[in-house]
Structure 1
Amino acid sequence: MRFFYYLVVLLCITSMSFAQEVNPDTVMAQAKQETEKGNFDKALSLIEPLRAKFPENEDIQVYAGRIYSWKKDYPSAIKIIAPLADKTKPNPDALLAIINIYFWSEQYEKCIWYCDKYLAIDSKSVDVIKIKASCLEKLNRDQEALDIIEKASLADNSTQPFRGIRTLIGRKAKNAVSASYLNISTSNPGQSPLHYGYIEYSHKFSKSAIVGRANVGHVNNDTEMLFETDFYQTFSNKSYLYANAGISTGEAVFPVGKAGLEYYFTPYKKFDFSFGARFMHFESDDITLLTGQIAYNTGSYTLAYRPYYDTGNALFSHVLSLQKSNEEKERIIRLELQYGTVPYLYLYNGFTQPLKAYRAGIQYQHRLGDSFFVRPIFLYEYEEYIPGEYRNKFNVQLIVTKRF
């Protein structure tokens, strides 16, 4: 009898011991659930006992390191994962983890070193090549980045994964040249079309940019030139100042002289604000416009409102626009509505009257290759050309730009 008693007790103790045995797969599943919820501390409280109990299990070690990296505790993450990544035969998952850690912590030289170590194992890993190219771009080693992108694109027969990096590098170009042609036609009643064009050159400095522009206009058998300069100055608080000045060869097509100034305030959350003025001098009259802008940015969309106040005629004009941007492709589509007297591109002449106009338009920018842009623009106006009489007005413009 005593033998059977001891046997039962032993079976009970053994079963209790098995019941208390940790199941790594179950705990890991629980830790992953907590991680997906963003409960990193809870996930670590589950996985740390597993690390201590199964130090030889590299999957547990790597996942623990990843949790620390997602928590942005990069030193702890590196301490756990580096020994696995630095072995003679490194753990591939550990290499991928430490590559992300050094990239997120902006330690780009270290990140490149581990990228090379991983590419020695898998030379066709697009994700790792992309991270390495991004590091090179951050370090302004742009040609190296373009070289490995070109090599990877030829091997993979696709440039899609690297478009964003190419865009970032392309935007660093200091120079650009643009040419434009604008045709303004009317109907019911019609008149001879107006022709405008310009050629401009722009150069970027570290915190400023300057643009030189030569305009030509042909209106009612008169041809004139307007020479103007734009200047942009950025400040450390992310605000910037825009200034414009120009002088023409006559007064029938363009104003004799013009100037503008606008300050763009530091963005506040998703909002942008600005305030400024435009001034145009004619032989017989002067025009002063007060203007500004409020814009709301959400994702790839920007909704903006810009008023103009003509101080001489005490008249308001209003412009509402909606723009969608694709930063990677540098593609823009913009819809615009306007009510008021301010003409497109401020193309006033000396005979301006306080008449009404309603305008709707669309413009589109498309990048060809890495540095060539085309921007077609179409705007329709229902314009009061004399008091109480309206006509149709069509503004058609094409702008081409090459940056280098």
Structure 2
Amino acid sequence: MKFLYYSIFLFLISSSVVAQEINLDAALSEVKREVEKNNYDKALLLLEPLQTKFPENEDIKIYKGRIYSWKKEYVSAIKILSPMADRTSPNPDALLAIINVYFWSEQFETCIAYCDKYLAVDPNSSDVVLIKIKSLEKLNRDKEALELVEKLPITDNSTQAITGLRTLIGQKAKNAIAASYLNISTSDPGQSPLHYGYIEYSHKFSKSALVGRANIGYANNETQMMFEADYYQTFKKRDYLYVNAGFSTGETIFPVAKVGAEYYFKPGKRFDYALGARFMHFETDDVTLLTGQIAYKTGSYTLAYRPYYDTSNELLSHVLSIQHTNDEKESLIRLELQYGNVPYLYLYNNATEPLKAYRVGLQYQHRFGNSFFVRPVFLYEYEEYLPNEYRNRFNVQVIVTKRF
């Protein structure tokens, strides 16, 4: 109905408009104002008398093609732009317009061909190079994309768009290896430090991931190991299932055996939830932990709450965290406030006394280059190690990861 209204209106005035001298710049300004309002049909109708008056004016034709592309009527846009882009001496603006049309319509091979045609005339066009790099990435031709990135000038190589593209390509890596060292010390009173470490390897499949991990612990003049496997299975709407299982070579430093599962789901845009359980078999006791999470995300910040309920000892513990992430740099900083018997990574105390512990933790992740990560973690505890007797406990850890 709106299009019919515009047609009748322009039919009534078109004869007088064409008959008189048309101010091209003023008329195009009116067209652009309608485009800015997203009134694409009216803008196209306003272009008709201009095209009739100036049939050879390619700026009018190109702008008409652009309007069709903004309307997502890509076939019509290509039909208008192709004659000017495919001839022996192509119009550069028509080439730019048709490059965008093929990129937006996800015809990436053709888009790359037109990018090459444009770059043969203007090899320093950073905008066209960026579109070509993005098209190569969409086609999973990541090596070619990165080689093209390296050829960019320094001023273009470090832009937000390029940084984000490097991250996107890096995240496609299927494999990663990681190593960690954790030192646990106490004071007032103190005891001999505890030492833990692990080495792990992970591999991503199309909709799942598998992690193998070898842990080693040294405490009370004993050395023991634990071997673990993690499995992740993704589902639609970014839901996923996490499963963990492991066994140890001893009975004191680690659980003799452990198994756990947790399901993460995100029904809304800002909130996500998780529900899960962990079972640990120790030499003299079994521990079952029920857990879950509710998280709220706003911009680059995530606020989350996670409880733990120890069914054997009837202990309820809490973790409140706030995390800031930079997706392009793949960096994060996380602050945690904890209360109760909260498991620190793969460690858990199977003490039966309902002892209190107050903790504050801070961790940071930094990426070096495209695929090397370092994450230091610090956790301070004010720990009740005997009824009404407290001491300081310091957990210091560093995790190094390389993906490939």
When the two structures are superposed, what TM-score results if normalisation uses the length of structure 1?
0.89
The verdict on how the C-alpha distance between 1:47 and 1:383 changes in structure 2, with shifts beyond 3 A counting, is farther
Residue matched to 1:265: 265
Partners in 2 of 1:183 and 1:403 — Cα distance?
25
Partners in 2 of 1:157 and 1:71 — Cα distance?
30
Residue matched to 2:10: none
Residue matched to 2:329: 329
In structure 2, give the amino acid aligned to 1:209.
Answer: A
CA contact (8 A) 2:287 2:350 kept: no
Residues 22-42 of structure 1 deviation map (CA, whole Å, 9 limit, x = unaligned): 322223223323333333334
Partners in 2 of 1:143 and 1:183 — Cα distance?
40
CA contact (8 A) 2:24 2:50 kept: yes
- Identity across matched positions, percent: 71
Shift of 1:153: 4.7
The verdict on how the C-alpha distance between 1:290 and 1:165 changes in structure 2, with shifts beyond 3 A counting, is same
Shift of 1:215: 0.6
The verdict on how the C-alpha distance between 1:39 and 1:372 changes in structure 2, with shifts beyond 3 A counting, is same
Structure 1 window deviating more from structure 2 (353-362 vs 97-106): it is 353-362
Residue matched to 2:226: 226
The verdict on how the C-alpha distance between 1:134 and 1:108 changes in structure 2, with shifts beyond 3 A counting, is same
Partners in 1 of 2:21 and 2:156 — Cα distance?
52
CA contact (8 A) 2:18 2:49 kept: no
Superposition pairs for residues 57-206 of structure 1, below 5 Å?
57-153=57-153, 158-160=157-159, 162-206=162-206
Residues 206-236 of structure 1 deviation map (CA, whole Å, 9 limit, x = unaligned): 2211111011111222221111000111224
Shift of 1:118: 0.7
In structure 1, give the amino acid aligned to 2:43.
Answer: A
CA contact (8 A) 2:357 2:381 kept: yes
Listed as ranges, the gaps of 5+ residues in structure 2 are 1-15
Partners in 2 of 1:289 and 1:17 — Cα distance?
79
Partners in 2 of 1:253 and 1:228 — Cα distance?
15
Partners in 2 of 1:355 and 1:340 — Cα distance?
8
Residue matched to 1:307: 307
Shift of 1:111: 0.5
Shift of 1:122: 0.7
Residue matched to 1:9: none
Matched, 1:279 2:282: no
Partners in 2 of 1:312 and 1:39 — Cα distance?
66
Partners in 1 of 2:352 and 2:328 — Cα distance?
42
Give the match's secondary structure for 2:72: coil
Residues 45-83 of structure 1 deviation map (CA, whole Å, 9 limit, x = unaligned): 433433343232222222222222222222222222222
Partners in 2 of 1:403 and 1:192 — Cα distance?
35
Give the match's secondary structure for 1:344: coil
Bigger-Rg structure (1/2): 1
When the two structures are superposed, what TM-score results if normalisation uses the length of structure 2?
0.89
Partners in 1 of 2:64 and 2:300 — Cα distance?
35
Shift of 1:296: 2.4
Partners in 1 of 2:353 and 2:39 — Cα distance?
66
Partners in 1 of 2:336 and 2:254 — Cα distance?
24
RMSD over aligned Cα atoms: 2.3
Partners in 2 of 1:316 and 1:43 — Cα distance?
64
CA contact (8 A) 1:48 1:64 kept: no
CA contact (8 A) 2:18 2:53 kept: no
CA contact (8 A) 1:283 1:350 kept: no
Partners in 1 of 2:320 and 2:376 — Cα distance?
19
Partners in 1 of 2:90 and 2:37 — Cα distance?
30
Partners in 2 of 1:397 and 1:220 — Cα distance?
20
In structure 1, give the amino acid aligned to 2:46.
Answer: L
CA contact (8 A) 1:208 1:233 kept: yes
In structure 2, give the amino acid aligned to 1:61.
Answer: K
CA contact (8 A) 1:255 1:349 kept: no
Residue matched to 1:353: 353
CA contact (8 A) 2:150 2:157 kept: no
CA contact (8 A) 2:367 2:373 kept: yes
Matched, 1:55 2:86: no
Residue matched to 1:387: 387
